[in-house]
């Protein structure tokens, strides 16, 4: 490789109808200026779950006097390997947002929502970040969501985290292929059915001939990941097509009980992979992901030992099966049984987040895990779902070591703090020149 050869960070591989961003390569940090750019590249993602968690299900089982987490509880156990990379918050709240509607719509705005008109109170934190960073990447931001299930799928405030302004929601992507194409397809093409990798392969070979052995390995690993996602999407599409064309097969492919029509776990992991690829390729540095819509009625019967919808389970003190939150079919023998099921759904979602963190840990950028350069917020706009409380929200922050975030501990005191303080702190760590967010002018201390 020529010693004076330098590759710009935004270099892409091109082919007929495709453009693939590249991960950070050694050749991109060949100058001190490029190295400084790589060091300052930080990402931000918010992962949202509705319906809260049962009281106590978010608290570590053991902590030291200084707040260091020694052991997570059983429902947070999927994150055990990442304990040193997470911060669990206590006594954080959203002072002007509550319930399934207002809480969801204002989780990232810090504004108020009275239900009489569509107004989230301001631009959401992710869109403020995207406005500042968007010119540096292919996409200013990604707004992801799973496909909704239940009677509230048409409710706009329950289905919106990201707001361009107080009355304009940012469109969400729910189809993995649509997200994939936004990042890697260069518009419509007569070769749209060919693999992205096949389309850019010639350009990739040319680049690899000039790259170091280490960079060649990085390129191969990155392209292999893209191809794996393509195959996963194609398999899911073939299964849906096959099921639709074969009498009886649709019923055979899913559980006969009420539930989702496809493998929800595979769907969730594919969407997590979209975040990984987006951050790895520097396609965007800002992302939100609604892991379900506010007040989700999704059945989680595919989780062992669980029956009923998520929203019904969140009201774990009602066990008759005859309240307005229930489906009229499912009942429970005791509060303990129902709360256990509610906690199992929490555990399942935490396992999906653990998958994302593991993937970001595996990928190295400038010799460090990509997770170090990523700030991942995970949580809900409700605490205990039965109480509909907006106090002591289940919230955690993962990663951010490159932004000098000190992790592996519980943060918070008896005094309540606003989630807006956290939003402000993360914006500042992204380099956004702001001194105030919503009602907060005091950034949360994370060092």
In the structure, what pLDDT confidence band is assigned to residue 437 with cuts at 50, 70 and 90?
very high
Backbone angles phi, psi at 81, to 5 degrees: -70, -10
Alpha-carbon gap, residue 104 to 27, rounded angstroms:
43
Backbone angles phi, psi at 144, to 5 degrees: -110, 155
Domains and CATH numbers, the chain: 12-429 (3.40.720)
Pick the most confident of 192-196, 232-236, 258-262, 431-435. 431-435
In the structure, what pLDDT confidence band is assigned to residue 289 with cuts at 50, 70 and 90?
very high
CB atoms within 10 A of CB 336: 11
Average the pLDDT over 421-432 and give the result: 97
Residue with tokens 């703090």: 417
Examine the pLDDT at 366 and tell me if it is beyond 60. Answer: yes
84-110: pLDDT as tens digits: 999 999 999 986 777 888 899 999 999
Alpha-carbon gap, residue 285 to 266, rounded angstroms:
24
**What is the percentage of the chain residues whose pLDDT exceeds 90?**
57
Q: What is the pLDDT of residue 231?
A: 81
Q: What average pLDDT is seen over the chain?
A: 86
232-277: pLDDT as tens digits: 787 676 656 655 554 443 443 332 232 233 689 989 998 999 999 9
In the structure, what pLDDT confidence band is assigned to residue 351 with cuts at 50, 70 and 90?
very high
Kind of pairing between the strands at 395-399 and 86-89: antiparallel
Query: Quick check: 239 and 189 in contact, CB under 8 A?
Result: no
3-class DSSP assignment, residue 378? strand
Alpha-carbon gap, residue 221 to 370, rounded angstroms:
14
Alpha-carbon gap, residue 208 to 211, rounded angstroms:
5
Q: What is the pLDDT of residue 245?
A: 53
Q: Which residues fall within 8 angstroms of residue 220, CB to CB, at 6 or more apart?
A: none
* Residue 337, token pair as written in the block: 């049984």
The candidate with the shortest Cα–Cα distance to 43, out of 433, 431, 319, is 431
178-187: pLDDT as tens digits: 888 888 865 5
């Amino acid at each position: 490789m020529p010693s004076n050869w330098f590759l710009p960070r935004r270099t892409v591989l091109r082919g007929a109808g495709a453009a693939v961003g590249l991960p950070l390569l050694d050749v991109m940090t060949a100058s001190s200026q490029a190295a400084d750019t790589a060091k300052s590249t930080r990402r931000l993602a918010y992962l949202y779950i509705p319906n809260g968690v049962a009281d106590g299900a978010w608290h570590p089982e053991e902590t030291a006097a200084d707040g260091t987490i020694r052991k997570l509880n059983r429902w947070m156990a999927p994150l055990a390997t990442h304990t040193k990379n997470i911060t669990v918050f206590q006594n954080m709240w959203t002072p002007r947002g509550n319930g399934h509607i207002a809480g969801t719509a204002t989780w990232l705005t810090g504004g108020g929502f009275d239900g009489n008109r569509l107004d989230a109170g301001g631009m959401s934190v992710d869109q403020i970040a995207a406005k500042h960073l968007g010119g540096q990447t292919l996409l200013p931001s990604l707004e992801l969501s799973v496909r909704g299930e239940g009677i509230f799928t048409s409710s706009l405030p329950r289905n919106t985290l990201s707001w361009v302004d107080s009355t304009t929601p940012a469109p969400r992507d729910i189809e993995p292929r649509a997200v994939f194409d936004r990042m890697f397809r260069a518009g419509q093409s007569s070769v749209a059915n060919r693999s992205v990798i096949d389309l850019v392969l010639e350009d990739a070979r040319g680049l690899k001939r000039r790259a170091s052995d280490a960079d060649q390995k990085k390129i191969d690993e990155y392209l292999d990941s893209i191809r794996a996602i393509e195959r996963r999407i194609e398999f899911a599409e073939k299964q849906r097509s096959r099921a639709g064309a074969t009498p009886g097969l649709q019923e055979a492919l899913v559980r006969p009980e009420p539930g989702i029509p496809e493998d929800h776990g595979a769907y969730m992991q594919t969407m997590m992979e979209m975040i990984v690829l987006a951050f790895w390729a520097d396609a965007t540095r800002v992302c939100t992901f609604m892991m379900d819509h506010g007040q989700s009625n999704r059945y989680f019967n595919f989780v062992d030992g669980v029956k009923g919808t998520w929203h019904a389970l969140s009201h774990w003190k009602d066990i008759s099966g005859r309240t307005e939150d229930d489906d009229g079919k499912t009942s429970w023998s005791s509060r303990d049984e129902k709360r256990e099921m509610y906690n199992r759904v929490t555990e399942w979602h935490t396992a999906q987040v653990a998958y994302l963190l593991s993937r970001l840990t595996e990928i190295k950028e400038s010799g460090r895990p990509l997770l170090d350069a990523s700030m991942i917020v995970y949580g809900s706009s409700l605490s205990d779902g039965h109480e509909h409380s907006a106090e002591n929200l289940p919230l955690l922050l993962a990663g951010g070591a490159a932004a000098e975030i000190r992790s592996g501990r519980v943060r918070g005191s008896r005094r309540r703090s606003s989630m807006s303080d956290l939003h402000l702190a993360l914006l500042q760590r992204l380099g956004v020149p702001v001194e105030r967010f919503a009602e907060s002018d005091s950034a949360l201390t994370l060092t």
